């Protein structure tokens, strides 16, 4: 009986596969079958070993089986959801089985691509494009004016408060105090941000001008904003 899994490109789908593989080497138990090939083709990438140890081990076993069975280029064999290119010397069609061969358990690795396999390949391509886009994410250099409440505000504490704010993609740089008047000074501080991870407006409105930072900070203004 063929075993099928849905949504193997999602975490919940891989979790279901991991639970199913508990105590097993392959989908059918200890024997490598065509079910392993079909499920392998539907998995977007190798499952995380820490989160899904059973699925990760199974994925490595199937990869090794396919690599050993089809070294180099193979005809129509799907490796990691992508069909391998046709060998120039290979025939366009796989040879038919000899008459009288009734072994239904032989792996059919040369069959037509199923709709499930096509969808898995498309999903994987979409994930790859999304990952590539993230890698191309730009950075910006931003100069902030951070103003205290009055001339009695401890500017050292104010700067420590600013630098204590940590976010993925946020890097604080050089700073200096600039006289405003009436004995009041403001803090000018540089920061570098990863554009896709940090919104300067959100940083100001939700981190720098709310408790506990607003004990020292009266307001913040963007002085310069430059793409790197």
Q: Say what the pLDDT of residue 3 is.
A: 61
**3.30.70.60, 3.30.420.40, 3.40.640.10, 3.40.50.1820: CATH of 139-227:** 3.30.70.60
72 compared with 48, residue with greater pLDDT: 48
Other Cβ atoms within 10 Å of 165 Cβ, number: 13
Checking if the pLDDT of 147 tops 60, the result is yes
Is the model more confident about 29 or about 93? Answer: 29
Topology match between the domains 11-134 and 139-227: no
Can you spell out the DSSP letters for 170-224? EEEEEEEEEEEETTEEEEEEEEEEETTT--HHHHIIIIISSTTGGGTEEEEEEEE
pLDDT class of 132 with cuts at 50, 70, 90: low
- Euclidean distance between CA atoms 12 and 39, whole angstroms: 15
Contacts of 66 (CB under 8 A, 6+ apart): 37, 40, 77, 79
Asked if pLDDT for residue 31 goes beyond 80, the answer is yes
- Per 3-state DSSP, what percentage of the chain is helix, strand, and coil (rounded to 5)? 35, 20, 45
Quote the tokens at residue 89.
Answer: 């010397």
Give the CATH number of domain 11-134.
1.20.1050
Domain extents in the chain: 11-134, 139-227
pLDDT of residue 225: 94
Q: How far apart are CA 187 and CA 176, in angstroms?
A: 6
Query: Residue 34: what pLDDT?
Result: 84
Rounded mean pLDDT, 67-81: 50
pLDDT single digits (tens) 159-210? 999 999 999 999 999 999 999 888 999 999 999 999 999 999 999 999 999 9
Average pLDDT on 154-160 reads 95
CA–CA distances in Å: residue 225 to residues 49, 83, 207: 41, 46, 19
DSSP 152: T
């Amino acid at each position: 009986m063929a075993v099928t899994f849905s949504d193997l490109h999602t975490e919940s789908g891989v979790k279901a596969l991991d639970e199913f593989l508990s105590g097993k080497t392959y989908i059918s138990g200890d024997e490598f079958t065509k079910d392993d090939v079909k499920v392998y083709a539907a998995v977007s990438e190798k499952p995380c070993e820490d989160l899904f140890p059973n699925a990760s081990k199974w994925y490595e076993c199937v990869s090794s089986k396919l690599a050993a069975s089809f070294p180099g280029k193979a005809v129509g064999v799907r490796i990691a959801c992508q069909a391998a290119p046709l060998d120039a010397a290979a025939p366009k069609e796989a040879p038919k089985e000899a008459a009288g061969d009734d072994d239904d358990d032989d792996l059919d690795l040369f069959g037509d691509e199923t709709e499930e396999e096509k969808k898995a390949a498309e999903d994987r391509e979409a994930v790859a494009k999304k990952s590539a886009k993230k890698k191309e994410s730009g950075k910006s250099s931003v100069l902030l004016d951070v103003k205290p409440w009055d001339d009695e505000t401890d500017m050292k504490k104010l700067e420590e408060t600013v630098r204590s704010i940590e976010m993925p993609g946020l890097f604080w740089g050089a700073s200096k105090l600039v006289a405003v008047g009436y004995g009041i000074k403001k803090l000018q501080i540089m920061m570098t941000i990863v554009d896709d991870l940090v919104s300067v407006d959100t940083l100001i409105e939700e981190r720098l001008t709310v408790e506990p930072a607003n004990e020292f900070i009266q307001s913040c203004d963007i002085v310069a904003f430059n793409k790197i």
